[in-house]
Chains A and B, each alone.
Chain A
Amino acid sequence: DAGVTQSPTHLIKTRGQQVTLRCSPKSGHDTVSWYQQALGQGPQFIFQYYEEEERQRGNFPDRFSGHQFPNYSSELNVNALLLGDSALYLCASSDYDRGREGYGYTFGSGTRLTVV
């Protein structure tokens, strides 16, 4: 059973450019969340998608946008890149774990974005 797949694994972009990151959720998961992890920091929540709608959003500017497709895969788009956007971007898919009465989250290996 494939877990969460993210692409690309590494990316180098120039300041001011736009970037699109992709995520395929774990089989059976219908909810996708995106996180930004700066070097040496904990992941920060960007937004969550469920049923192709943005369900919750963290404290990130509108330059960060996303999309979820009918097959539950998702994209993260960042416009007008800044040097400070350099980070590891993590995708997590989730569902309700009925056996443990809680939500189960599975993370991908991330996309390392470097803005120069």
Chain B
Amino acid sequence: GDSVTQMEGPVTLSEEAFLTINCTYTATGYPSLFWYVQYPGEGLQLLLKATKADDKGSNKGFEATYRKETTSFHLEKGSVQVSDSAVYFCALNQAGTALIFGKGTTLSVSS
């Protein structure tokens, strides 16, 4: 079945450092891909998404490109802030059915 694998955390960075969180997927067809962020004690917030190959999703300085040839959707940000500290989830979906999530990557940014 479909699945998502994302890099293990935690990821610890200093403020203004470059961030990459790797995400690869296994799926039949052409899924939509998502990044969600979860702050402590809260639900999930959509960070960005892409619905077809070579699409680039972007939001709040974060970017991810849908790479079908490598089945990847890596999350990047050029300069992280302390406020970016959270858990990040990569997910996929086929035609409005269940979202399938990775296990999450904890990001901790220090000043």
Residues of the A chain whose Cβ atoms lie less than 8 Å from the Cβ of B32: 102-103
Tell which of B32, B49, B96, B102 has the most Cβ of chain A within 10 Å.
B96
Interface size on A, residues (CB 8 A): 30
Q: Does residue B45 face the partner (Cβ distance < 8 Å to A)? A: yes
Contact B49 A92 (CB under 8 A): no
Residues 1-47 of A at the B interface (beta carbon under 8 Å): 4, 6, 31, 33, 35, 40-45
Q: Does residue B58 face the partner (Cβ distance < 8 Å to A)? A: no
Chain A interface mostly: strand
Contact A101 B43 (CB under 8 A): no
Q: Does residue B25 face the partner (Cβ distance < 8 Å to A)? A: no
Other than the known A92-B44, A102-B49, A107-B36, what 4 A-B pairs have Cβ atoms closer than 8 Å? Answer: A33-B99, A102-B51, A105-B34, A109-B42
Give the residue name and chain of the A residue nearest to B50 (CB). Answer: A102
Size class of the B contact interface (CB-based, 8 Å): 20 to 34
A103-B32, A107-B43, A109-B43 in contact; A42/B98 too (CB < 8 A)? Answer: no
What's the nearest-Cβ distance from chain B to residue A100, in Å? 6
Give the residue name and chain of the A residue nearest to B32 (CB). Answer: A102
What's the nearest-Cβ distance from chain A to residue B35, in Å? 12
Q: Does residue B100 face the partner (Cβ distance < 8 Å to A)? A: yes
Contact A42 B97 (CB under 8 A): no
Contact residues of A with B, CB < 8 Å?
Answer: 4, 6, 31, 33, 35, 40-45, 48, 55-56, 58, 90, 92, 94, 96, 100-110
Give the residue name and chain of the B residue nearest to A100 (CB). Answer: B51
Contact A43 B44 (CB under 8 A): yes
Q: Does residue B73 face the partner (Cβ distance < 8 Å to A)? A: no
